[in-house]
């Protein structure tokens, strides 16, 4: 567990439930064990950013099957991290993935992960995020945040990743962040096209400060973003 994570049993949101509710468990089912999805707030109370076609909202437990169906695919996860993570194996892992992101945002308002929802259909196309980047050599967070994106393959080719990332970057700069980084595998052409469509200034192919090996690196300051 990383240093920024809040232990579940210290999460103040758990105490919103009355003692009677806590004793009943999440479905009021007597002595049944509380399901992990109860850690998460109901979807209808969650905030969201709207764009022309998309809603960007925090993930909810109900999204776990879709997360699993996306991060369980080697063609998606092969581009995420260096070395890439193992494909997601089951729903419990997907629920943990959602929960960890909620905890990270509770600890840092700029550490945000949003489900990209197509407003017309309600389909969760993928995710867009800003994440604290930890230096590979020291493991330290130096105030650098990395924007990232992935789509389920059935939702690629519509401009959703670009539209979502533009809105998220707008939002974090409006809320006071000074700069955003972006890095990717040198041969990740699809992701590079997203960065270029966004107009992120390209720094070149360089030793990646946060992951093994070289990456295509981009960095944009708030001032550059506002005048682009
Ligand atoms: C990277 C990734 C998100 C890019 O997906 P994408 O669909 O190409 O990106 P966008 O959603 O921005 O869509 C852009 C494409 O939609 C097309 N498009 C179709 N209709 C569009 C519309 N109405 N508006 C904008 N673009 C549209 C664009 O022309 C573009 O296609 P092109 O690149 O062939 O020209 C996707 O390939 C992916 O999930 N890869 C695996 C994970 C990954 O690599 N993540 C990044 C790690 S750094």
* Domain formed by 40-226, architecture: 3-Layer(aba) Sandwich (3.40)
DSSP state of 114: E
Inter-residue contact 26 to 137 (CB < 8 Å): no
Mean of pLDDT values over 160-189: 98
Residues of the chain with pLDDT > 90, as a percent, come to: 78
CA 126 to ligand 1: nearest atom: 39
Q: What is the mean pLDDT of the chain?
A: 85
CA 156 to ligand 1: nearest atom: 7
Among protein residues, the one with the nearest Cα to ligand 1's atom 38 is 150
The ligand 1 site (C-beta within 6 Å) comprises 76, 79-80, 148-151, 156-162, 184, 188, 190-191, 193-194
- pLDDT score of 40: 46
- CA–centroid distance, 54 to ligand 1, in Å, is 14
Listed residue (150, 182, 147, 151) closest to 168, CA to CA: 147
Among protein residues, the one with the nearest Cα to ligand 1's atom 48 is 184
Mean of pLDDT values over 82-102: 96
Mean of pLDDT values over 93-102: 98
Query: pLDDT tens across 18-46, in order?
Result: 333 333 223 322 333 444 444 544 444 44
82 — pLDDT class (breaks 50, 70, 90): confident
DSSP secondary structure, 28-77, as one string: --TTPPPPGGGGSPPGGG---EE-SSEEEE---GGGHHHHHHHHT-HHHH
- pLDDT score of 47: 67
Among protein residues, the one with the nearest Cα to ligand 1's atom 19 is 158
2 — pLDDT class (breaks 50, 70, 90): very low
What residue spans define the domains of the chain? Answer: 40-226
- CA–centroid distance, 55 to ligand 1, in Å, is 17
pTM of whole model > 0.85?
no
């Amino acid at each position: 567990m990383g240093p920024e994570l809040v232990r579940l049993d210290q999460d103040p949101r758990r105490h919103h439930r009355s003692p009677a509710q806590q004793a009943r468990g999440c479905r009021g089912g007597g002595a049944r064990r509380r399901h992990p999805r109860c850690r998460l707030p109901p979807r209808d109370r969650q905030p969201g950013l709207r764009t022309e076609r998309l809603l960007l909202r925090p993930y909810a437990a109900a999204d776990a099957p879709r997360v699993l169906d996306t991060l369980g695919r080697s063609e998606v996860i092969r581009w995420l991290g260096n070395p890439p993570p193992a494909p997601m194996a089951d729903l419990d892992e997907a629920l943990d993935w959602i929960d960890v992101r909620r905890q990270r945002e509770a600890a840092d308002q700029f550490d945000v992960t949003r489900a990209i929802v197509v407003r017309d259909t309600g389909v969760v196309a993928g995710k867009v995020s800003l994440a604290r980047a930890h230096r590979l050599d020291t493991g330290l967070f130096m105030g650098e945040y990395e924007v990232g994106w992935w789509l389920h393959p059935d939702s690629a080719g519509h401009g959703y990743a670009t539209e979502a990332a533009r809105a998220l970057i707008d939002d974090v700069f409006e809320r006071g962040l000074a700069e955003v980084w972006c890095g990717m595998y040198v041969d990740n052409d699809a992701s590079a096209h997203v960065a270029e469509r966004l107009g992120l200034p390209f720094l070149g192919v360089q030793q990646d400060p946060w992951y093994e090996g070289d990456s295509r690196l981009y960095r944009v300051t708030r001032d550059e973003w506002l005048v682009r």
